Amino acid sequence: MAETPTSQTPNLITKSFNEEDPVTEFDSNTMRRSKPGIKRLLLVLTVLSSFILALPFLLKSIEIYRSPLPFDAIDSLSKDVKSNPLYFPCRFRTMFVGFDEFSVKRLEFEILESMGKLRGYDVVNDGCGCGSSSEVSVTIEFDVNEFAGGSGGDDDNVMDERLHLVLRDGDESESLTGGKVYTVVVVKKDDEVETRVVVGKYRHAWVVGNVLEYDAVTIISDVFVKFFMKAGRKEEGLVHQGQFLPVGADGSVVLSFSLLNANPQDWIYDWDFKRIDEVLLAPVVDALAPIANISVESQVLYHTPKSSFSPWDENLQSYVFSTKDLPFFVNSNEWHLDTSIAAGGRSKVLQFVVYVPSSEEWPLLLQLPNGEISKTNGFISPMWGGVIVWNPPSSLKSLRDKNPVRHMFSPQDLQEIFEVFMGQLRQLLGLNSDYTYVAESHTYKFLASEKGFTEWELDVLSRHHTCSNLISCATTLGSLSTLVLSLPRMIIMDEIGKQVKFSLEAASLAQSNASLGLYDASAGSSRQARALAEDAFFHPSIMSISYYSFEHCFAIYSFSYTQFMASGQPFFLPVSMHIIVAAARELRRYKKEKAKYLAWPVMEKKSN
C-alpha cells in the first residue's frame, strides 16, 4: 500500500513537464513576444527626410550662374571674317590735262585692266583693302596752266597745296559718295624732256611731261596700286598672315623715349624732351589718333652699358657692331626700360632708345650686311621699338679724364634724332621709312608731311588696323565661346555677357562703316570691338575658375544642410552617406524584429 503513491509521482511530474513544453521551445533569436517599437525607425527616417528636404537648397547653393552668350552670333562673325575679307570702297579719279580728245571709257577700262594685273585678279583672297568694286573715272581738262607743276623743290609743295584746294581729296566726297577719292593728274607738256611723277602728302599725285596715253596708263596704275592701295608694300592685305600693328589690346600705345648714358664718368648727355613732345611729337600723335590712343613718356638713365663689347676696325677707325650682334645689343639687366607708369592693363609699349657709348667704345658704328655703314646708326626690333647709337663729338674724347660736364642736345641734334625715330616708327607700323622708287623712263618724288604720315598712308593704316582688329576680335570671341562650352561649370557673369554683346555690336558697326567708306569710324569701332572682346576673355571671374570641374564641385561644394545656418559643419556627402546607411540598417532591423514577433503566435498556435 505504501509504494503506490511513490509510483504515481513521476507520472504527475512528467505530465506537468509536457504541459510546459511550448514554453520551453521559445527561441529568442527567432521569436519575440512583444511588438517591436518604431521610435528608432522614426528618428532615423526624420533625419533622412531632413537631408532629402535640404537637397534642393544644396543644389541651389552650388548652382552655376551662366549669363547667356550669343554663340550663334559669335560663330557667324568668325565665319564672316574668315570667308569674307573686309574691303573698303575706294574711288580713283584721273584727270588728263592738255591731251587731245580720246575715248574716256576706253581709258577707264585700260586703267582698270592694268590695276588688275598689278594687284591680281583674285581680290577675294587678297586680304584687306580697297574692294574689287572700286571705281575709276577719267576726265579731260584743257587748261594746262591751272595744273602745271613746277620743276621741283618748293614748287612741288605749292602745287600740292593747290591741288588739295581744287580737288578736296575725300574731305566732302566721303560723306556724299562713300570711300576716299584718290586722284592722279596727268599734265602733258611737250617741252618737258623728262617725265616727273610727284606723289603728294594728301590723296593725289601728278605727272608732268611729254607722256603718251599708254605710258600714262602704266604710271597711273602704279600710283594707284603700289602707293595709294598698298603704301609701297608688296602685299595689300597682310593681316591674314599674322602681321598686326603694334597696338595694345585696349587700343592704346605708349611711346617710351629713353636716353642712355653708358658711362657717365666719360660724358653726360641730357635733352629737352618737352620741346620734342610739344613741337615734333604732337602732330604725329594727332595723326594716329584714329588708330590708337597714344601717350608719350621719357627718361634718362645712367650706367647702362650694352651686353657685349664691339671690336675695333682699323679700316673704319671705329668700333663696329654688325647686324649679327643686334640680338645681344640690348642689355636687359642694366637697361631698366620697363618702368612705364602710363602703360596700364594690356597697353603696348614701344621703346625708343638713344644710346650714348662710353669712351672705351667710341665711336661706335653699325655695319650693314653689305659692308656699308648705316646712315642712321640705328636699328629696330619688331613689336619692341628702336635703338639709335649717338656718338659724341670728337672734341669730348680728350675730356674723358676730367670731371664730366652735362651736355644738352642741340635743336639740330634733336631734329636728326627725331627724324630717325619717325623712320623707325613708320617701319614698326608696317610702312617704309622712306620711299625710293625708280622707273626706266621717269622719276618719282614723294612729298613728306610734317605729321610724319601722309593722308594716303594713314588710309592704308586705317584699313589695315580695322581688319586686324576685327580678326583679333573674332578670334578672341571664338576662343571664349569654345572655353565656355568646354567647361559647363564655369560662371558667366552678366558683365561678361554685356561685353560680348557690345563687342559684337561694335564689330558689326565697324563692318558697316567700312562698307560705307567711313575709315576713321570703322577704325574706332573695330578698336572698341577688340577691346571689349579682350575684356570679356580676361575677366577676373573667368581667370579664377578657368579650370573649374565637376569633380571639384563634387568634392568641395557638397555642403551640409546646416551650412546655411552655421559654418564649419561637416560636409554633406560624408554625413548623408552615414544617414542613408543607418536608415537602411534600422529598416532592416525593424523588419527582422517584426518577423520575429509574427513568428511567436504561429508557434503558439501550433503547440495548442
**pLDDT averaged over 10-residue windows placed end to end, the chain, 608 residues:** 44 43 59 81 84 76 80 93 84 85 82 83 54 71 57 74 78 57 89 86 91 88 89 58 69 92 91 90 93 91 90 91 90 82 75 93 92 93 92 67 79 92 92 72 84 92 91 94 85 91 95 89 93 91 62 56 41 72 86 82 72
Residue matched to cell numbers 599734265:
187
- Smallest Cα–Cα separation from 165: which of 147, 141, 142, 180? 147
What letter represents residue 258's amino acid? S
Residue matched to cell numbers 580695322:
466
- Residue spans per domain, the chain: 38-61+570-605, 90-237+450-463, 253-429
Distance between CA atoms of residues 325 and 429, nearest Å: 24
- Smallest Cα–Cα separation from 223: which of 380, 111, 108? 111
pLDDT at residue 374, rounded to an integer: 93
- What is the pTM for the complete model shown? 0.78
* DSSP string of 519-538, one letter each residue: HHHHHHHHHHHHHHHHHHHT
pLDDT tens-digit map of 519-528: 889 999 999 9
Q: Which is it for the CA torsion 256, 529, 245, 445, positive or negative?
A: negative
Strands 378-381 and 385-389: antiparallel
Number of residues that make up the chain: 608
Distance between CA atoms of residues 97 and 147, nearest Å: 7
Element holding 604 (H helix, E strand) = helix 572-607
pLDDT tens-digit map of 195-214: 889 999 999 999 988 888 88
Exposed / middle / buried, residue 194 (Cβ in 10 Å: 0-12, 13-18, 19+): exposed
- Smallest Cα–Cα separation from 329: which of 413, 246, 373, 386? 386
pLDDT at residue 122, rounded to an integer: 43
Distance between CA atoms of residues 442 and 419, nearest Å: 28
* DSSP string of 118-178, one letter each residue: HH-S--TTS-SEE-TT-EEEEEEE--HHHH---SSTHHHHHHHHHHHHHH-TTTTHHHHHS
pLDDT at residue 426, rounded to an integer: 92
**Residue 322 region, left (φ>0) first, then alpha (ψ -120 to 50), else beta?**
beta
